Structure 1
Amino acid sequence: MSTIRMTTTGTTPIGATPIGATRGAQGHAVVTDQIRPSVSSAPDAATGRPLPGQPVPPLQVSMVGGPCWRLCDQKPKHFTLVVAYRGAACGHCRDFLKAINDRLEAFQRRGVAVVAVSADSRAEAESFAEAAGLDRLAIGWGLKPERAQDWGIYMSAETGRPAAAGFICEFAMFLVRRDGTLQLSHVQSGPFLWPSVDEVLEAIDGMIARGPELTGDLTPETAGAAASRPGPRSIPGC
């Protein structure tokens, strides 16, 4: 499946010093500048993000109520779903993760392991998990900005309700194959587009049914080569 990268008004990928923020209709800060590390360490130099079919960056985070979680240790039948969320102050994240928590068996039946990670501190993550009733979903905390950048996750400074880390990770989802390569990513730069759990499960069903098919895996160089190929073309998934 393709890599979906969503951009919203008022945000830019990874910025330097927060200039200011206003409060949106849902009580979220709308950030006008973002946190930008000076050197890119993203795995693909052409796109600045992991590409479908390529190995994803390493991921290791501390867990609420347990030892550290490592992506390399996960061996589900099909995929590991990594959800980056904005942190304890985000009501949309709470609702989305609660829906996953309550339907975790539906993911497990499909051979999908799920983890949610944020830049929150241990205290913030523990309080969030308890208040939201996340008693089954694996919740990771302490995601570092360098690792978030490696994954192509947008980062913001929310001045209205400062996070202990000094930044928050914007919402993103990554579906990682059993062999550690990327199947699908959904990355957005602000808190304005929220998929439902039903839509996520439907997408997973479609990818399992179609097998190893990939889209969104071209670079400028390979896109040019693909355009020159003779013969009819089809668009996977359409």
Structure 2
Amino acid sequence: MSSPKLEAGHPFPKIVVTGADGAQRDLSQPTGGHDWMMVVVYRGRHCPMCTRYLNELETYRAALGDIGVDVAAVSADSAEQLAEHMTQLSVEFPLYHGLSISQMQQLGLYVSDPRSPSETDHPFAEPGLFVINADGALHVVDLSNNPFVRPALKTLVSGLKWIRDPANNYPVRGTRSYVA
């Protein structure tokens, strides 16, 4: 079964997930006075590359906040798996769990089955990163089918700073589609 990809410039869907504290949140909505939202989808507790990426993302959280970008991360892990993973993380942005296969498909993510029960006990999303602008539209979309390809955070944050500068008047890119 194929999973349609979200289109740049189109609205980000309403994706409601649950936090470590049990509270629910619609990931499309920034908080804390921010007007843009960055949603990072990670594979889960079983992925050491995800742990490193999330910890590195924390070092850019303040810079993202300075340009009005809120940050949240989500995986298909259970509440228990998220709690265990949090012992390996040093992050202050919110983490969410329970991303369903239906939600993964809605986001156009690549989905994998575990290689063995020792890896994890459920299908999981491969990495995805979405930046939603103040109009609720996707401004940046990055999807990967494996853990080895993700946006370089230094470059991403620098690029978002440039995009957010009104003097640059930088539009959403990649919006032209071709019909064969």
Q: Matches of residues 70-219 of structure 1 in structure 2 within 5 Å?
A: 70-74=26-30, 77-134=34-91, 136-160=92-116, 161-164=118-121, 166-209=122-165, 210-211=168-169, 213-219=171-177
Q: Deviation digits for residues 109-164 of structure 1, max 9, x if unmatched?
A: 11000010100000001111122223x11101000011111111100012233423
Q: Please tell me whether the aligned partners of residues 171 and 188 of structure 1 are also in contact (alpha carbons under 8 angstroms).
A: yes
Equivalent pairs, count: 176
153-162 or 176-185, larger mean C-alpha shift: 153-162
User: Which residue in the other structure is 1:53 paired with?
Assistant: 9
Deviating beyond 3 angstroms after TM superposition, the runs of 4 or more aligned structure 1 residues are 75-78
2:45 alignment partner AA: A
Q: Please tell me whether the aligned partners of residues 17 and 99 of structure 2 are also in contact (alpha carbons under 8 angstroms).
A: yes
Q: Deviation digits for residues 13-71 of structure 1, max 9, x if unmatched?
A: xxxxxxxxxxxxxxxxxxxxxxx4xxx6x6xxxxx211111111111100123511213
Provide the rounded CA distance (Å) in 2 between the counterparts of 1:86 and 1:99: 16
Provide the rounded CA distance (Å) in 1 between the counterparts of 2:152 and 2:142: 13
Q: Please tell me whether the aligned partners of residues 78 and 208 of structure 1 are also in contact (alpha carbons under 8 angstroms).
A: no
Quote the offset at 1:72 in angstroms: 4.5
Q: Please tell me whether the aligned partners of residues 96 and 196 of structure 1 are also in contact (alpha carbons under 8 angstroms).
A: no
User: Which residue in the other structure is 1:13 paired with?
Assistant: none
Q: Please tell me whether the aligned partners of residues 12 and 28 of structure 2 are also in contact (alpha carbons under 8 angstroms).
A: no
Secondary structure of residue in 2 paired with 1:114: strand
Taking structure 2 as the reference length, the TM-score comes to: 0.88
Structure 1 unaligned blocks of 5 or more: 1-35, 43-47, 225-238
Q: Please tell me whether the aligned partners of residues 122 and 142 of structure 1 are also in contact (alpha carbons under 8 angstroms).
A: yes
Quote the offset at 1:78 in angstroms: 4.2
Q: Please tell me whether the aligned partners of residues 60 and 157 of structure 2 are also in contact (alpha carbons under 8 angstroms).
A: no
Taking structure 1 as the reference length, the TM-score comes to: 0.68
Structure 2 unaligned blocks of 5 or more: none
Provide the rounded CA distance (Å) in 2 between the counterparts of 1:174 and 1:159: 27
Indicate yes or no: 2:32 matched with 1:67.
no
Q: Please tell me whether the aligned partners of residues 41 and 128 of structure 2 are also in contact (alpha carbons under 8 angstroms).
A: yes
Percent of pairs with identical residues: 23
Provide the rounded CA distance (Å) in 1 between the counterparts of 2:87 and 2:101: 25
Quote the offset at 1:212 in angstroms: 5.0
2:123 alignment partner AA: F
Secondary structure of residue in 1 paired with 2:63: helix
Q: Please tell me whether the aligned partners of residues 100 and 137 of structure 1 are also in contact (alpha carbons under 8 angstroms).
A: no
Quote the offset at 1:184 in angstroms: 1.0
Please tell me the root mean square deviation across aligned C-alpha atoms, in Å: 2.0
Quote the offset at 1:197 in angstroms: 2.0
Query: Which protein has the larger Cα radius of gyration, Structure 1 or Structure 2?
Result: 1
Q: Please tell me whether the aligned partners of residues 78 and 110 of structure 1 are also in contact (alpha carbons under 8 angstroms).
A: no
Provide the rounded CA distance (Å) in 2 between the counterparts of 1:173 and 1:142: 17
Secondary structure of residue in 2 paired with 1:178: coil
